[in-house]
Amino acid sequence: MGLRSFIIPAVDIKNGKAVRLFKGDPDAVTVYGDDPVKVAKQWEEKGAKQLHIVDLDGAFEGIPKNYKILEQIVKTVSIPVEFGGGLRSFNAVEAVINIGVERVVIGSLAYQNEEEFLDIVNAFPEKVVVGIDAKDGKVAIKGWLEKTEFTPLEFAKRFDDLDIWGFLYTDVNRDGAMVGPNIEGTRYLAQNLKHPVIASGGVGSLEDVKKLYRLREYGVYGVVVGKALYEGKIKLEDLED
């Protein structure tokens, strides 16, 4: 796997547009495109091997709101799509898997309703990515608005023996800020879990990606990158597969 395959471009959707938030703040929005489907297709054309789609409206409101856009993206691209944002019920997960989403990212539901979460994992083995959003060292839920008492590793350990795909670890304090990813936190999590970990949050340069890339031996599978790609700090098309 080369650096290009390691990078998973993010398409965050809010009010029907492709955006990025600054540190998870719903009011700190930068719009990067009026058509998220077109944006998704562009990343595929530049060589992306998979995409990370987030329904921000869904994350804040607790139910997917941009279903039609997601469906169009899945139909338009030929690479796997990972999706998260507002997946807080069995029916919501089933609906997006039925339209062809490869993996679903679930965070809040895993914390709030473990029974329903287990039903989802059992129904869709190896399709579930447990979303671990860390804020000040604790797991945050409900669109990063509410902090729990769990550290990322404590939270992840609850699910590591299940038939999940793996974990998505986001340091919310760094997300969209391009201040560098949480290398130590990512490594610590990955080396203590059986399942792969996708890193997210803070990537601002190709050097940041390379630091995470070196953690593959510990179980780091890839990194979700948003702002650094949109602002041209990293150019997918220039990288090795």
Which are the catalytic amino acids? Answer: 12, 133
Q: How far apart are CA 4 and CA 116, in angstroms?
A: 36
User: Do 74 and 103 touch, CB atoms closer than 8 A?
Assistant: no
In 3D space, the residue among 181, 185, 175, 229 whose CA is nearest the CA of residue 208 turns out to be 181
Amino acid occupying residue 31:
V
Q: DSSP secondary structure string, 178-207?
A: -S---HHHHHHHHHT-SS-EEEES---SHH
Q: Three-state SS across 108-166?
A: HHHHHCHHHHHHHHHHCCCCEEEEEEEECCEEEECCCCEECCCCHHHHHHCCCCCCCCE
Residue carrying the six token digits 């029907």: 16
Q: How far apart are CA 62 and CA 84, in angstroms?
A: 11
Q: What would the two tokens of residue 51 be? A: 């995409």
In 3D space, the residue among 153, 162, 161 whose CA is nearest the CA of residue 120 turns out to be 162
